[in-house]
Amino acid sequence: MTGKCALVISSFLLATNVAAQGPTHQGYVDNGDIQMYYEEHGEGEPVLLLHGGTGSGKEWSRLVPMLSAHYRLIVLDSRAQGRSTDSDRALDYDLLSDDTIKLMDDLEIESAYIIGASDGGIIGLSLAMRSPDRVRKVVAYGANFHPRGLTDSQREWMENVTPENFGADADTHYLSIAPEPERFGVLLEKITAMWLSQPTWTEGDLSRITIPVLIIDDTAGLVIRTEHVRAMATAIPGAQLAFVEDTNHYAHWDKADEFSDLVLAFLADR
């Protein structure tokens, strides 16, 4: 079993960089203690794509062609992951949210739609609470609002995971693109500590979200408890809730068409 946010990277994904879709721009922004990688695709209103933990922007490869036909996509690699560098700081969702705002500032984006998977969905919800003026709508897939939302099997995996038993191909993916591939063990220690302790929002915190939110999850319920997902959607005023069948935490990859339809309909709804 792989982690809450870690992709099982297939040989196809390893061979298919998001850049293969033809970014209109790519580069790094200086976030003070790190260099943060990003790519842009398409034109129109800005949409930020936020990947899952230990992954990278590559996990959006199948969504990029579908979404970039309608929007300007900013596909980023979070701190210590993908092609972005790391620092000595611990990982936490407030820090990852601040990194996202810094990227928006550097790209002169006043506000954007946020689409996040797993950790990316948690970052999207954090932005909705902490920086609502910068966020137009949020799509949060595979997210939890408290560690108690994790299933028992998922928590057990997180408590015992090592670089040696992490999961099929995910470490290979990291090693293939990371600027400091020798830091995989450091990343794993930092990110599992974050997963096991954060976020710690209450339903009252979620009730203060004022922007439109779409919560998506899979029906398998092997990573996040289904009742936790439903409670999150109920707590956020006006939130929509959708489930994708026949997938487990990777609908944005293995159910890309269905995922894209849900997202595009939500973003277009005025």
Residues 6+ apart with CB under 8 A from 176: 14
Output the pLDDT for position 14: 40
Output the pLDDT for position 142: 97
- Separation of alpha carbons 231 and 20, rounded Å: 39
Output the pLDDT for position 269: 92
- Separation of alpha carbons 12 and 230, rounded Å: 33
Q: Identify the CA nearest to 83 among candidates 125, 41, 29.
A: 29
Output the pLDDT for position 74: 98
- Separation of alpha carbons 161 and 142, rounded Å: 20
Mind listing the pLDDT tens digit of every residue in the chain (270 residues)?
355 555 444 433 443 444 445 788 999 999 999 999 999 999 999 999 999 999 999 999 999 999 999 999 999 999 999 999 999 999 999 999 999 999 999 999 999 999 999 999 999 999 999 999 999 999 999 999 999 999 999 999 999 999 888 875 666 888 899 999 999 999 999 999 999 999 999 999 999 999 999 999 999 999 999 999 999 999 999 999 999 999 989 999 999 999 999 999 999 997
Tokens of 26: 């790519």
Tokens of 91: 């990982």
> From 3.60.10.10, 1.10.10.10, 1.10.1420.10, 3.40.50.1820, which CATH number describes the 24-268 domain?
3.40.50.1820
Output the pLDDT for position 18: 45
Residue 184 near residue 178 (C-beta atoms within 8 A)? yes
Q: Which residue stretches of 69-225 are H helix?
A: 93-106, 119-130, 152-160, 170-177, 184-197, 203-206
| Other CB atoms within 10 Å distance of the CB of residue 94 | 12
Question: How do the domains of the chain map onto residue ranges?
Answer: 24-268
Task: Provide the pairing of β-strand 135-141 with 112-117.
Answer: parallel
Q: Tell me the whole-structure pTM to 2 decimals.
A: 0.93
